[in-house]
Chain A
Amino acid sequence: MGKYIFKRVLLMIPTLLGAAILVFLLLRMAPGDICAVRYLGTGMAISEDQIQLCREQLGLDKPQLLQFFDFVWGYFIFDLGTSMWTGQPVAHEIGIRFELSLQVAVMATIVATVIAIPLGIISAVRQNTITDYVVRGFAIAGIAIPSFWLGLMIILGLLVVTQAWFGEPWMPPIQFKSIWEDPAHNLAQLIWPAVATGYRYSAVATRMTRSAMLEVLREDYVRTARAKGMTEKIVINRHALKNALLPVVTILALEFAFLMGGLVVTEQVFNLNGLGNLMVDGVERQDFTMTQNLVMLVVIVFVFTNLLTDLCYAWLDPRIRYS
């Protein structure tokens, strides 16, 4: 097992380095620069020398190789540099948004798990019945509906419904407050995006639960258990579910990792000041230091989650380790 872990960790190095190179190059290949966004977008007459000055101050005239070295070296000395837009340390900017993104991810995971596991099991146990079709339809719809559209509809619905019922339109707060500071305010804001993303997320997980259950239900030991005359409930809960959970947990973990930085669109709809929004801003402003570090953060979380799930598999299934 030790050797397997070592091998897997070693393989991460080229992946992360490659991702760093890819992000670095993609950003710099994009036309335009941050100083143009800062000064020209307003339509005021700003002279070219001021724009040039801005470029120099941001170090955009430094050789690219040096910029790349700075970027990668930052990970070894735990200094991610400063945002080219706000001038604040990147770690600080990420820190501000981390709690929100983490909370939305956790809440969406709870929503998804609560919906997905029971539905997936029912669907598998009653395969090819009306129940199965309804559940699958519900799940596939979750994947098909763009979550930002669902978000727009939720907000509009809230405004219209509250005005009709209470006379005063109500919308979720648009400013984040920590759950420790003001739980009511916090939940009033975050429950909606958690539901909108949790639904899509549950759809993915429902499908995975269903197929994992189907697979397990066909295994010999389940047949044996059935043959031994165990009740269906015990067969499912004690034997099948336990073994079907691994792929489900995997998909939940991967989705969770994705939610930490991938809510680029949903965060816009709900005006959430999270990591996804920061990424969209970074890309729009051509803020190299911010965007490259943020993308790398997502990549690192993603790669580590992958590693952990693989290790879990290997631990549970010795065949993988030795192949």
Chain B
Amino acid sequence: MVTVSEVQTEAQFEEVAPKKPWTKVAVDLARRQPLGVFGLAIVIVMIIAAVLADVVAPFNPLEEHFDAMLAAPGTDGYLLGTDEFGRDILSRLIYGSRTALLVGFVCAIVGSTAGLVLGVASAYFGGLFDLVLQRILDVFMAFPLIILALAVVATLGPGFENVMIAIIIPFIPQCARVVRANALAIREIPYVDAARALGFSDARIILRHMVPNVMAPYLIMLTTFLGQAILLEASLSFLGLGVQDPIPAWGLMLTNASEFFEGSPWVAIYPGVAISLSVFGFNLFGDSVRDVLDPKLRSR
């Protein structure tokens, strides 16, 4: 693995996205990664729901119907029932997918990209910079995820943006650590020295030669974070530190439901299912991405 030439590594990377007709790719993938495709399907449904929320949602998610508070599923056109304010649960779930996707993607992308930058820079520059940065990352890595997120959100206060920051911060060192380990291996390859000897700039070497070669671990971390972010948001919401009403958000719906679920179980069941299903989808998809990208685990 340490002695692969540039040509080989690039070819290997190419393999991830082979230039075949997409239908064939899809069929191929479905056969090799049925779970991943199932996961992807869930994610796609979520994305469609989020994009078309205005069209598909039967009600305004904020509209209160005091004549139908905690209505059971199926009554008066409320397919999944209503919550304590008579707001349509289905509509809130559909709009909630926007919040979930936003939290998931923003946290995952920002967290893993920041990790990518730090990890590659740390590996490339080495020396004191690497040492100091690694010690700082060590500090952040010393906290369990939820504890660090809890501490950060307690400092910043609850709210949409703050929750995302609280989720992103613990992600960064995790990704940086993995990326650095991979980037270190690349750095050992003679061509990086050669490129340097040829007088290429640091930026060029990093962008052209190092970043592409750590895309696999980067993407693996990114997909892992997607589900984690949604779960973390739900957990912080449960502690009262997450997204706040009236924004439709699953974690928040579940939290509010914990007051009412005894007599009206649907208020807790559906948001719980929505969270579980979406995280399930993201994780299945992420697992397959890992299987495809991590040659060591690829099936024979």
User: Nearest residue in B to A22 (C-beta to C-beta)?
Assistant: B139
Whether B275 contacts A146 by the Cβ 8 Å rule is yes
Cβ proximity bits A120-162 to B, threshold 8 Å, 1 near / 0 not:
0000000110000100110011011110110011001000000
Q: How many residues of A contact B (CB 8 A)?
A: 49
Write out the residue numbers on chain A whose beta carbons fall within 8 Å of the beta carbon of B34. Answer: 133
How far apart sit A152 and B272, CA to CA, in the bound complex (Å)? Answer: 11
Whether A295 contacts B276 by the Cβ 8 Å rule is no
Q: What's the nearest-Cβ distance from chain B to residue A25, in Å?
A: 9
B238 within 8 A of A: yes
Whether A264 contacts B146 by the Cβ 8 Å rule is yes
User: Nearest residue in A to B279 (C-beta to C-beta)?
Assistant: A144
Write out the residue numbers on chain B whose beta carbons fall within 8 Å of the beta carbon of A19. Answer: 139, 142-143
Write out the residue numbers on chain A whose beta carbons fall within 8 Å of the beta carbon of B144. Answer: 257-258, 261-262, 298, 302
Write out the residue numbers on chain B whose beta carbons fall within 8 Å of the beta carbon of A29. Answer: 155
Q: What's the nearest-Cβ distance from chain A to residue B142, in Å?
A: 5
User: Nearest residue in B to A15 (C-beta to C-beta)?
Assistant: B138
Whether B231 contacts A144 by the Cβ 8 Å rule is yes
User: Nearest residue in A to B300 (C-beta to C-beta)?
Assistant: A218
Q: What's the nearest-Cβ distance from chain A to residue B268, in Å?
A: 6
Whether B142 contacts A128 by the Cβ 8 Å rule is no
Q: How many residues of B contact A (CB 8 A)?
A: 44
Whether B35 contacts A133 by the Cβ 8 Å rule is yes
| Contacts known (A144-B277, A144-B283); A156 close to B261, Cβ less than 8 A | yes
User: Nearest residue in B to A141 (C-beta to C-beta)?
Assistant: B280
Whether A146 contacts B151 by the Cβ 8 Å rule is no
Checking B136, B140, B150, B275 against A149 with a beta-carbon cut-off of 8 angstroms, the contacting residue is B275
Whether A283 contacts B235 by the Cβ 8 Å rule is no
Write out the residue numbers on chain B whose beta carbons fall within 8 Å of the beta carbon of A72. Answer: none
Whether B279 contacts A143 by the Cβ 8 Å rule is yes
Chain A interface secondary structure, helix, strand, loop or mixed? helix
| Contacts known (A146-B231, A295-B147); A265 close to B238, Cβ less than 8 A | yes
Whether B35 contacts A156 by the Cβ 8 Å rule is no
How far apart sit A205 and B227, CA to CA, in the bound complex (Å)? Answer: 17
How far apart sit A31 and B155, CA to CA, in the bound complex (Å)? Answer: 7
B152 within 8 A of A: yes
CB within 8 Å of B: which of A196-228? Answer: 207, 211, 214-215, 218
User: Nearest residue in A to B140 (C-beta to C-beta)?
Assistant: A22
Write out the residue numbers on chain A whose beta carbons fall within 8 Å of the beta carbon of B262. Answer: 156
| Contacts known (A15-B135, A146-B234); A140 close to B142, Cβ less than 8 A | no
Write out the residue numbers on chain A whose beta carbons fall within 8 Å of the beta carbon of B277. Answer: 144
How far apart sit A143 and B39, CA to CA, in the bound complex (Å)? Answer: 14
B284 within 8 A of A: yes
B208 within 8 A of A: no
How far apart sit A283 and B166, CA to CA, in the bound complex (Å)? Answer: 15
Whether B147 contacts A18 by the Cβ 8 Å rule is no
A268 within 8 A of B: yes
How far apart sit A152 and B238, CA to CA, in the bound complex (Å)? Answer: 12
How far apart sit A148 and B251, CA to CA, in the bound complex (Å)? Answer: 11
Write out the residue numbers on chain A whose beta carbons fall within 8 Å of the beta carbon of B197. Answer: none
How far apart sit A295 and B152, CA to CA, in the bound complex (Å)? Answer: 13
Q: What's the nearest-Cβ distance from chain B to residue A303, in Å?
A: 5
A16 within 8 A of B: yes
Write out the residue numbers on chain A whose beta carbons fall within 8 Å of the beta carbon of B279. Answer: 143-145
B154 within 8 A of A: yes
Cβ proximity bits B233-249 to A, threshold 8 Å, 1 near / 0 not:
01100110000000000
A11 within 8 A of B: yes
A14 within 8 A of B: yes
Whether A295 contacts B265 by the Cβ 8 Å rule is no
Checking A15, A27, A152 against B139 with a beta-carbon cut-off of 8 angstroms, the contacting residue is A15
Write out the residue numbers on chain B whose beta carbons fall within 8 Å of the beta carbon of A268. Answer: 238-239
User: Nearest residue in B to A255 (C-beta to C-beta)?
Assistant: B144
B190 within 8 A of A: no
Whether B284 contacts A140 by the Cβ 8 Å rule is yes
| Contacts known (A19-B143, A133-B34, A264-B239); A30 close to B227, Cβ less than 8 A | no
Write out the residue numbers on chain B whose beta carbons fall within 8 Å of the beta carbon of A258. Answer: 144
B130 within 8 A of A: no
Whether B142 contacts A146 by the Cβ 8 Å rule is no
| Contacts known (A18-B136, A19-B143); A140 close to B287, Cβ less than 8 A | yes
| Contacts known (A136-B35, A302-B143); A146 close to B265, Cβ less than 8 A | no
A104 within 8 A of B: no
A279 within 8 A of B: yes
B296 within 8 A of A: yes
B60 within 8 A of A: no
Whether A283 contacts B154 by the Cβ 8 Å rule is yes
Cβ proximity bits B40-67 to A, threshold 8 Å, 1 near / 0 not:
0000000000000000000000000000
Checking A22, A133, A148 against B235 with a beta-carbon cut-off of 8 angstroms, the contacting residue is A148
CB within 8 Å of B: which of A255-277? Answer: 257-258, 261-262, 264-265, 268
Question: What are 27 sample pairs from A and B whose C-beta atoms fall under 8 A apart?
Answer: A14-B135, A15-B142, A19-B143, A22-B139, A26-B152, A30-B155, A140-B283, A144-B227, A144-B275, A144-B280, A146-B231, A146-B234, A146-B235, A146-B238, A146-B275, A149-B234, A152-B261, A215-B296, A218-B300, A261-B147, A265-B146, A265-B238, A268-B238, A279-B147, A295-B147, A299-B143, A302-B142
Besides the known contacts A18-B138, A149-B275, 19 further A-B residue pairs in the complex with CB atoms under 8 A apart: A11-B135, A18-B139, A31-B157, A140-B283, A141-B276, A143-B227, A143-B231, A145-B272, A146-B276, A149-B276, A152-B268, A218-B300, A258-B144, A264-B146, A264-B235, A268-B238, A295-B151, A298-B143, A302-B142
Interface residues of A (CB under 8 A from B): 11, 14-16, 18-19, 22-23, 26-27, 29-31, 127-128, 133, 136-137, 140-141, 143-146, 148-149, 152-153, 156, 207, 211, 214-215, 218, 257-258, 261-262, 264-265, 268, 279-280, 283, 295, 298-299, 302-303
